Structure 1
Amino acid sequence: MKIRFGTSGWRAVISDQFTFSNVKIVSQAIAEYVKKMGGKTLIVARDTRFMTEHYAQLVAQVLAANGIKVLMPENPTPTPVVSFAIRHYGLSGGINITASHNPPEYCGIKFNPADGSPASPEITKQIESLIEKIDESKVPMMSIREASAKELFEIFEPRADYMKAIAKKVDLERIKSAGLKVIADLLYGTAAGYLDDLCKSICGDFEVFHNYRNPYFGGGRPEPDETRLREFAERVKNRGWDVVVATDGDADRFGIVDDTGDFVKPNEVIALLAHHLYKNKNLKGPVARTVATSHALDAVAHTFNEKVIETPVGFKFLAATLLSENVVIAGEESGGLTIQNHTPEKDGILACLLILEMMAYEKKALSEIREEFRRNYGEFFNTRIDFELKDEKEKQELLTKFKNIKDYLSGIQITDQDSVDGMRYFFDRPGAWMLARASGTEPVVRIYLEAKDTSTLQSMITAIRKLSR
């Protein structure tokens, strides 16, 4: 069995591949990489999944035995807080025991190097190479008691400093003066004690749901998508709430429902916040998005005479732009974003607070802000179609058909194409494009589509349905 890191760390099913033995091996590989880079101290955190405190302790025992000091928060900790801690305290990196928004049977290990960003492909390849050479029976271990005595283990809490940093990025006083009525759904994840505590102090009225640990996440994946947040639609409309904000299991993704009960797609949220940051906060610099993310963000940037940086899918690629360019906002369609002078990692807590800040600045309902955006920039209709296939053979067959997408199109023509990440086509209709990306870890093909009118979008969807038969 080969252990492979995906777009955001190594994830596997608990007791299948995610075992104590494999956790020891991965921990040793990371320890060897960190030592090779001259590192000395890591933060080791965890989310609210089953057994994460035990996995985190095991990681700490391996790191300590390698002479690496471990700083461990006592409570489940958001991924963005891990990234913040690395940079704020000048650490050599961090490990978070998390599977983010994956179903409850999964767990994972996410590694961030000394710059706080998600580990790049170059780094994870080195770690994977080290993994293949490690004999689990020879991995050293040190008890937490011994590690503490040798000053190689310490319980510490980055929460207060993270909250202070957030207060410098978001105008909490302005939000407080707006008297917003807010619902938060924390999906039993690590935002508990962070987003709910902040909202209690700044919202005119506030109600929180699922702000406690439940390793089963209420019977589904802890992802703040339209399906999961549907339960709040009627509550918002009937009881006069202004907005629903939500985060995923490790608080790096966000979900938003407006005052009419309508789910606001991440693609739209990113563009709305870009407009807010340029217009209301006078920030300067480019925006960054992945190839799978809506071009609504491009329209905003161009209006403010700023450029757009496009990257492959994966926040690690966006993080590189944050570290090298003065990016105002970086986002991806799967619900992750961060902003200028913040951590180079997705931050769902920050995203939710920025929505409240935008509403406070505009002094309008979120539905009104959305309508005004459409009047200024036009509409962007987008969707994603996932094909879960039987095996790699079926996956390749579908991709081969996609190469000949022109055979399935009716009424629209391809004008350009590229392969930045997957296969992407541009069409002879305003803002129309289509992208197919194959998963690197499972037999899944994801197809992203966008157009400026519904008829063009429907033509593209029809073509995809035809080729999938």
Structure 2
Amino acid sequence: MKKITFGTSGWRGIIADDYTFENLRIVSQAVAEYIKEKEDPEKGVIVTRDTRFLTEKFVRVVAEVLVGNGIKVFMTEKPTPTPVVSYTIRKEKLSGGINLTASHNPPEYCGFKFNPSDGGPALPEVTSFIESKIAEIQSGNLEIRRMDIMEASHNGLFELIDPSKDYVERLRELVDFEKIADSGIKVAVDLLYGTAIGYLDLICRSISKECLVIHDYRDPYFGGGRPEPDQKRMSYLGNLVVERGLDVGLSVDGDADRFGIVDERGNYVKPNEVIALLAWHLYKNKGKKGPSARSIATSKALDTVAKSFGENVIETPVGFKYLGNLILTQNVVIAGEESGGLSIQDHVPEKDGILAGLLILEMMAYEGKKLSEIKKEFEENFGKFHNARIDLEFRDDSEKESVIRRFEDIEESFADLKVTSVDRTDGMKFFFGEDTWMLVRPSGTEPVVRIYVESVDEERFKDIMEEVRKFAR
């Protein structure tokens, strides 16, 4: 039996392998124990799903266990974005939320994402508690309790809800919809067959002069790939933007917590660039005050922007649970990570890809310029940051560990550059002077080692990238 563990975004597994009805009941009971011991079970839990295989069945399995433990379930009628779950938890003061999603993972995966009562991703102390309860259940020391949904409904423990209206109204408070509408912007939206259907498409249609929407129906195969708005997947949207003469292309991943952006020329705008651009917009155009935050793997372009407005940047380990906590405790202006997740001041402590896309539209409306023009102006003010991520996929752990050990053996230099310091807070981050660095870090959700590189010097950047490719062979 595979061990059930929680990574940076909960538990994920392959459907019919380790992601089974039995294991789902085990995890649900463990979460129920957390809610009973650490939260107020009477406040209830929102339970929802993404658009993957069998999620409409899986979600009822979860609900049966929760109501069997006396915890009221508010179940959404349709697949729901992760940021909507977070917002609903906070607005309705619930005990937590469960979203059965594997986010951007391949189609054969499903997941179990738990957000406690603060609305943010579960922090390590929460997931450790849940894992301990999973172990108790698997050893036979804790039983799984269940109740039929019909009986639960009769007893007032089960209710169907639609949280979409309240969430959209909150976005309207955060983003100037009228200014966007007045700008006459023309938008393309790729929903990637995911949970943003009925959210991002409807909003963009209501506030843009022209809106082209694609992949706005459920497909558990996600068109034959990952539901991830990365550069490769966004190339089709970029071509459409150019062909139709549109201003910008927006996309989100399967559970709508990650974003993808292409400009009017069809060029992919990296998340690192988007985060820095939006920070500039929030400080300059909206007058926001306070620090910003980013993960250890995210570009220091954000630091340069914040510093120009007299603000600092807080660095965290990888995983939005740490950044979300800063939204709550430090009131940061923007919190972002290079994998395509961000949130802002006075919003949810969770990634919101829908919000990110709308903020891009708002920035363009404020500036009255094309996105490529804004990016060019940014580089003129703050310089150009060259960065990239290489994902090394492995067949087994021994192969992966062998490569990690090779990086651990680096002491004095790499790519003929002197190593000035190493930060082992989260992975291994090698510094080669002040503005050049390389981070080596195993993924928390996949059998992958990710290598991040950044430099303001293009030649240094190219040298490190070339050495990484040689080094990892």
TM-score by length of 1: 0.97
Q: How far is the alpha carbon of 1:463 from its aligned partner? A: 2.2
Q: Is the 8 A contact 1:408 1:466 kept in 2?
A: no
Q: Distance in 2 between matches of 1:149 and 1:267?
A: 50
Which amino acid letter does the alignment assign opposite residue 149 of structure 1? H
1:424 has 2:404 as partner: no
Name the CA shift for 1:294/1:38 in 2 (closer, same or farther; >3 Å): closer
Q: How far is the alpha carbon of 1:408 from its aligned partner? A: 6.4
Q: 1:59 aligns with which of 59, 62, 82?
A: 62
1:280 has 2:305 as partner: no
Q: How does 1:395-406 map to 2 (within 5 A)?
A: 395-405=400-410
Q: How far is the alpha carbon of 1:465 from its aligned partner? A: 2.5
Q: Is the 8 A contact 1:408 1:463 kept in 2?
A: no
Partner of 1:262: 267
Q: Distance in 2 between matches of 1:94 and 1:333?
A: 25
SS across alignment from 1:386: strand
1:326 has 2:326 as partner: no
Which amino acid letter does the alignment assign opposite residue 40 of structure 2? G
Q: Distance in 2 between matches of 1:201 and 1:233?
A: 22
Q: How far is the alpha carbon of 1:391 from its aligned partner? A: 2.4
Q: Is the 8 A contact 2:9 2:445 kept in 1?
A: no
SS across alignment from 1:168: helix
Which amino acid letter does the alignment assign opposite residue 454 of structure 1? E
Q: Distance in 1 between matches of 2:239 and 2:93?
A: 46
Q: Distance in 2 between matches of 1:138 and 1:238?
A: 59
> Which stretch shifts more, 431-440 or 338-347?
431-440
Q: How far is the alpha carbon of 1:394 from its aligned partner? A: 2.3
Q: Distance in 1 between matches of 2:256 and 2:126?
A: 24
Which amino acid letter does the alignment assign opposite residue 308 of structure 2? T
Q: Is the 8 A contact 2:9 2:121 kept in 1?
A: yes
Q: Distance in 1 between matches of 2:195 and 2:470?
A: 42
Which amino acid letter does the alignment assign opposite residue 106 of structure 2? P
1:130 has 2:133 as partner: yes
Partner of 2:464: 460
Partner of 1:106: 109
Q: Which deviations, in whole Å up to 9, do the C-alpha atoms of 1:27-73 show, x marking residues without a partner?
A: 00000110001422100011111111111111111100100000011
1:170 has 2:171 as partner: no
Q: Which deviations, in whole Å up to 9, do the C-alpha atoms of 1:126-145 show, x marking residues without a partner?
A: 10110011158942211111
Q: How far is the alpha carbon of 1:158 from its aligned partner? A: 1.1
Partner of 1:225: 230
Q: How does 1:362-373 map to 2 (within 5 A)?
A: 362-373=367-378
Q: Distance in 2 between matches of 1:109 and 1:410?
A: 41
Which amino acid letter does the alignment assign opposite residue 241 of structure 2? V
Q: Is the 8 A contact 2:190 2:237 kept in 1?
A: no
Q: Is the 8 A contact 1:180 1:205 kept in 2?
A: yes
1:349 has 2:350 as partner: no
Name the CA shift for 1:407/1:390 in 2 (closer, same or farther; >3 Å): farther
Q: 1:49 aligns with which of 30, 36, 52?
A: 52
Partner of 1:74: 77
Partner of 1:25: 26
Q: How far is the alpha carbon of 1:234 from its aligned partner? A: 2.7
Q: Distance in 2 between matches of 1:192 and 1:212?
A: 7
> Which stretch shifts more, 279-288 or 227-236?
227-236
Q: Is the 8 A contact 2:292 2:306 kept in 1?
A: yes
Which amino acid letter does the alignment assign opposite residue 375 of structure 1? E
SS across alignment from 1:103: coil
Partner of 1:359: 364
Which amino acid letter does the alignment assign opposite residue 15 of structure 2? I
Identify unmatched segments of 5+ residues in structure 1: none
Partner of 1:120: 123
Partner of 1:299: 304
Which amino acid letter does the alignment assign opposite residue 457 of structure 2? D
1:246 has 2:247 as partner: no
Q: Which deviations, in whole Å up to 9, do the C-alpha atoms of 1:349-385 show, x marking residues without a partner?
A: 0000000000000000000000000100000010111
1:96 has 2:105 as partner: no
Q: What's the Cα RMSD here?
A: 1.4
Q: Which deviations, in whole Å up to 9, do the C-alpha atoms of 1:270-327 show, x marking residues without a partner?
A: 0000000000000001010000000000000000110100000000011111111010
Partner of 2:419: 414
SS across alignment from 1:354: helix
Q: Is the 8 A contact 1:409 1:459 kept in 2?
A: no
Q: Distance in 2 between matches of 1:407 and 1:427?
A: 10
